[in-house]
Amino acid sequence: MNWNTLLFGVFPYIALTLAVAVTAYRMVYRPFSVSAQSSQLLEQKRLFFGSVAMHWGLVLVLLGHLLALLIPKGLLLWNAVPLRLYLLEITGLGLGLWALVGTWVLLTRRISVARVRAASTSMDYVVLVVIFVSALSGVLTALFYRFGSYWFPAVMTPYLWSILTLQPRPELIADLPFWTQLHVFNFWVFLAAFPFSRLVHIITVPLGYVLRPWQIVIWVRKLAR
């Protein structure tokens, strides 16, 4: 077994197992540990700018990756027109840079603000570093190996589907550049660290609030004489 098989053929299943099993354990046996543990009261200004940039940048970039995974032919059809290809590439790079800057702001905030640093755990730093490496490697891939939205459906989509269908094809990653391989491996590292971090609170988003009936809140106060 070579390193390529170990990192891109075996480790993904370790990461997926940890993500599912540990998350389920925390939800069932340690539900009170599933919390965002917000540090907003300790410092707000840098948290706002960093959090908005990191969260929205990453969410939109991940949605783009998901579209490439689910409808690769549709993405290739979109890219058939050069103007649309350039627009998609520039947008993706801009969102990646936005997420990179936001993650850097949050990381430096957690290190430099004494009150935030005192309330931080080792996993908080690990998660931010992993996200920063992911954003950095993604931006460098976009800069040095352009038109990723064009070659992603031909290389990454088959690889990811091979993992999900239990027929791993790590050889698809073997010839990719270093920054791209780092970007892929770092994703699996993030997935393995996810259930041990405060990010688990993401899966507790109260989507039921969108569908439940309206509630009318009536304030009842006793008039002072």
Whether the per-residue pLDDT at 104 is higher than 90: the answer is yes
Q: Which residues contact 12 (CB under 8 A, 6 or more apart)?
A: 163, 168, 188
d(Cα 190, Cα 196) in Å, to the nearest integer? 10
Q: Where are the strands (E) in 108-183, listed by range?
A: none
**Residue range 42-55, pLDDT digits in tens:** 667 888 888 899 98
Q: Where are the strands (E) in the chain, listed by range?
A: none
Q: 221, 210, 157: which is closest to 184 by C-alpha?
A: 157
pLDDT of residue 42: 64
- What's the pLDDT band for 141 if we cut at 50, 70, 90? very high
Decide: pTM greater than 0.75. Answer: yes
